[in-house]
């Protein structure tokens, strides 16, 4: 029969999947509210409890959207490669959800002797994975295959172009994303996310303070990896009909769109865990100290509050900044973010090698000095004015 480890893992999986999918549905509603607020108009506020006059501030809107997509006709065009066409949304959705196996949702819960649980409960589906960050990178990279398969299997020039653009963007920004993480790995000496949070909690200094340049590089790369504005070039409506999922509808399209939104939630988790202390906040007990239910729940609340704040930041940027051109997107990856990530990595390596006697304040000062100098050098090296007019060759070709 099932042992306690299997039962515990199953309960965690069910809770995490239900929480992530529910959060994705209702954060879409929050984003629509934010878009309405920024654009000075009313957002979704009428859909409430079905078959009643109860509106509940539009909280029924995600349910209505879900029912609409579920009931939508599952149409598969005759010209597609059917097997790959169906596999693409499954692959990208599976990759988006599998990442949460090693992401902690708090620290620990106290033992529950009444239920036969005599040791603290780790709030991670697969706790103690020594290569947690590598696992996240490996699994999230599978999403590229879903994008390529969707664009190729659709047998449409619009989808194919969208797939090429998307895959190029995702592959290009994986490099600065990795460089942003390597600085944290050098300091902690571990690839476990729990260890990263534990070291920030033990020292009281979040890596956002000691490695601000790494934070900026990682956040920008995370925006691009999640295909959020100003980096949503896979679905540039001015140039493409709908990107790599042009030929999709119904539940298959919902899998694509939900996976993209979950990528944003995952990016928020990683930013908070790697750079903003995770569940840690000043005044809490340090790692290794036995805690009760009050502080255990408080840690969960702190982590979720940070993640929600990061998600709201993603949304605010989306409805504030204009979209980049694709050449600007790739230039930013290869000529700005990649060099800045390498500068941050070298600076962290030098401090770790020769700065063992440095105080915490000195380490923070070095991090900010490197960030300011690097950004000034980038500003001086990059052109101050960008010419957005069409090139002469483009105008002649259009004729």
The predicted structure's pLDDT at residue 390 = 65
Q: What are the E-state strand segments in the chain?
A: 108-109, 121-122
Are 33 and 103 in a shared domain?
Answer: no
What is the rounded (10 degree) CA torsion for 142, 148, 153, 158? 150
Residue 393 lies in a domain: no
- What confidence tens digit (pLDDT) does each residue in 245-293 have? 888 888 888 888 888 889 999 999 999 999 998 898 888 877 777 788 8
Mean pLDDT confidence for 310-314: 93
Tokens of 223: 């925006």
Cβ pair 287, 202 in contact under 8 A: yes
Are 17 and 88 in a shared domain?
Answer: no
Q: Compute CA distances 376 → 209, 231, 372, 381, whole Å.
A: 19, 23, 6, 9
pLDDT at 386 over 80: no
- What confidence tens digit (pLDDT) does each residue in 77-87 have? 888 888 999 99
- In 3-state terms, what secondary structure has residue 128? coil
Tokens of 16: 């995490």
Share of the chain above pLDDT 70, in %: 92
Cβ pair 266, 245 in contact under 8 A: no
- Among 71, 103, 127, which residue terminates a domain? 71
Mean pLDDT confidence for 153-159: 86
Are 6 and 121 in a shared domain?
Answer: no
Are 60 and 103 in a shared domain?
Answer: no
- Among 24, 46, 71, which residue terminates a domain? 71
Are 19 and 103 in a shared domain?
Answer: no
Are 221 and 162 in a shared domain?
Answer: yes
For the chain, the 3-state helix, strand and coil shares in percent, each to the nearest 5, are 70, 0, 30
The predicted structure's pLDDT at residue 387 = 65
pLDDT at 117 over 80: no
DSSP 147-207: HHHHHHHTT-HHHHHHHHHHHHHHHHHHHHHHHHHHHHHHHH----HHHHHHHHHHHS--H
The parent domain of residue 41 ranges over 1-71
- In 3-state terms, what secondary structure has residue 237? coil
The predicted structure's pLDDT at residue 306 = 95
C-alpha distance across the termini of the chain, in Å: 73
Total number of domains constituting the chain: 2
Are 56 and 98 in a shared domain?
Answer: no
Are 341 and 254 in a shared domain?
Answer: yes
**pTM score:** 0.89
- What confidence tens digit (pLDDT) does each residue in 192-241 have? 998 999 899 888 899 999 999 999 999 999 998 888 888 887 766 566 56
Comparing 72-81, 238-247, 342-351, the range with the smallest average pLDDT is: 238-247
Cis amide leading into 230 (omega within 30): yes
Residues in the chain: 399
The predicted structure's pLDDT at residue 1 = 45
Share of the chain above pLDDT 90, in %: 26
Are 23 and 119 in a shared domain?
Answer: no
């Amino acid at each position: 029969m099932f042992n306690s480890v299997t039962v515990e893992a199953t309960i965690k999986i069910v809770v995490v999947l239900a929480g992530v999918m529910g959060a994705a549905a209702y954060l879409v509603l929050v984003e629509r509210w934010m878009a309405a607020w920024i654009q000075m108009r009313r957002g979704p506020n009428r859909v409430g409890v079905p078959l009643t006059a109860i509106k509940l501030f539009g909280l029924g809107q995600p349910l209505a959207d879900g029912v609409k997509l579920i009931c939508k006709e599952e149409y598969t065009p005759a010209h597609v490669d059917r097997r790959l066409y169906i596999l693409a949304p499954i692959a990208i959705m599976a990759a988006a959800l599998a990442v949460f196996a090693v992401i902690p949702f708090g620290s620990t819960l106290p033992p529950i002797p009444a239920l036969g649980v005599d040791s603290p409960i780790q709030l991670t589906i697969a706790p103690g994975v020594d290569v947690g960050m590598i696992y996240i990178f490996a699994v999230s990279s599978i999403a590229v295959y879903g994008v390529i398969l969707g664009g190729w299997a659709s047998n449409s020039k619009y989808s194919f172009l969208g797939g090429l653009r998307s895959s190029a963007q995702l592959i290009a920004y994986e490099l600065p994303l990795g460089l942003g993480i390597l600085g944290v790995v050098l300091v902690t000496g571990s690839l476990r996310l729990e260890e990263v949070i534990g070291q920030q909690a033990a020292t009281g200094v979040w890596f956002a303070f000691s490695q601000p340049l790494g934070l900026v590089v990682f956040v920008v790369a995370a925006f691009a990896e999640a295909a959020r504005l100003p980096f949503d070039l896979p679905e540039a409506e001015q140039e493409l009909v709908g990107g790599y999922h042009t030929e999709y509808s119904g539940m298959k399209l919902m899998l694509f769109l939900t996976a993209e939104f979950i990528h944003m939630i995952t990016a928020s988790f990683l930013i908070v865990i790697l750079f903003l202390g995770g569940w840690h906040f000043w005044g809490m007990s340090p790692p290794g100290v036995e805690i009760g239910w009050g502080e255990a729940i408080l840690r969960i609340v702190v982590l979720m509050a940070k993640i929600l704040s990061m998600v709201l930041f993603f949304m605010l940027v989306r409805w504030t900044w204009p979209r980049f051109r694709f050449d600007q997107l790739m230039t930013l990856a290869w000529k700005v973010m990649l060099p800045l990530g390498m500068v941050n990595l070298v600076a962290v390596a030098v401090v770790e090698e020769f700065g063992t006697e440095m105080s915490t304040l000195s380490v923070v000062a070095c991090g900010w000095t490197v960030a300011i100098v690097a950004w000034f050098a980038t500003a001086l090296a990059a052109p101050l004015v960008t010419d957005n007019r069409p090139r002469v060759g483009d105008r002649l070709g259009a004729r």
